[in-house]
Amino acid sequence: MEIKIELTKTPKAKPTDETKLGFGHIFTDHMFVMNYDAGEGWHDARIVPFDNISLSPSAMCLHYGQEIFEGLKAYRTADGSVQLFRPDENYKRMNVSAERMVIPQIDEEFMVEATKKLVEIEKDWVPHTDGASLYIRPFIFATDPYVGVRPADHYLFIIILSPSGAYYSTGLNPVKIYVEQKYVRAVRGGTGFAKTAANYAISLKGQDEAHNQDYEQVLWLDGVEQKYIEEVGSMNIFFVIDGEVVTPQLTGSVLPGITRKSALEVCKSKGIPCSERRITIEEVAKAYDEGKLDEVFGTGTAAVISPVGHLKWGDKVMTINDNKIGKISQMLYDTMTGIQWGKIPDTFGWTVKID
């Protein structure tokens, strides 16, 4: 499919202080847009000036939440070039989300090329500051002007870009995690494995409860027995127990994170024992009491690796590794950010250069 390009006639001033970029509130000059209409399929791919969109108040996405999204980044390397990190995995996952939400599939190779073209046009927006990057947000939503529960016939696919500051501007400091025992994020058979807006809306109450107790994130338990660990905040969770890296298996209620997958592959390449299995909060607490809980960390696109220093389960507060980042967490952070920013060789073939 041809991508039509319309460049803006009024480019924005680019940020002059990249230490104050923050996250998700500055947007580049252009966006990618593509339409879907039943009987015609995906069509009219275009890169146009970033602008507001017009929707009917009865648009189905506003009433029934038929929407999916992805998140990835573009990185500027030391030689000034720009590259992506495993974009094919993001679009594979987007199709999994689309299937669950009854949204038409997209051509993954075409979307990688469309993403590359958009980033190429906006390459001057990719920050130069160490640790900063260009966040890429693809999303699809139903646009039918119809207040009725059914799969839509019309969709918009849009990609927007946002220069974002370094996640750890003050260093890789461990966070405090609160184990949520009342609310749940997802259940098997639901949408927990899909990247859809509802999963994030449903997590807000637990997040608010954690903040009220002076904790930064929520550790979610399973939605049936409420004893098996699933995710932390909007990240995947890992435990290092007696030298073994353990993460909850993908049972349908856990998001299959790209960083999660990459972390496992890095560990295996270095001969570190790994397992994906169901793990209870009781097992974690027992490992802590026995002095075997070496490290806890989250993985995700934004932070890459987020070490956990405190874990609160009921009245029990566990201090992990003296509230310091562990050696495996540090190794994973150094390895993956090193590959993303081109500081070390990409022996896995994960990066995609922007022409």
pLDDT tens, residue by residue, 131-140? 999 999 999 9
What is the per-residue pLDDT across 292-333, written as a single tens digit (0 to 9) for each?
Answer: 999 999 999 999 999 999 999 999 999 999 999 999 999 999
Sign of CA dihedral 142, 146, 152, 153: negative
What is the per-residue pLDDT across 20-76, written as a single tens digit (0 to 9) for each?
Answer: 999 999 999 999 999 999 999 999 999 999 999 999 999 999 999 999 999 999 999
Is the distance from CB of 157 to CB of 140 less than 8 angstroms?
Answer: yes
Q: Domains in the chain, start-ordered, CATH in brackets?
A: 4-164 (3.30.470.10), 175-341 (3.20.10.10)
* Residue 80 burial (CB count, 10 A): 10
Q: What are the percentages of helix, strand and coil residues in the chain, rounded to 5?
A: 25, 30, 45
**pLDDT over 70 at 169, yes or no:** no
pLDDT above 90 covers a percentage of the chain that reads: 94
Q: What amino acid is encoded at 30 in this protein? A: H
pTM for this prediction: 0.96
The two beta strands, 274-276 and 244-247, are: parallel
Mean pLDDT throughout 136-156? 97
Least confident of 172-176, 296-300, 337-341: 172-176
CA pair distance 252, 204, nearest whole angstrom: 21
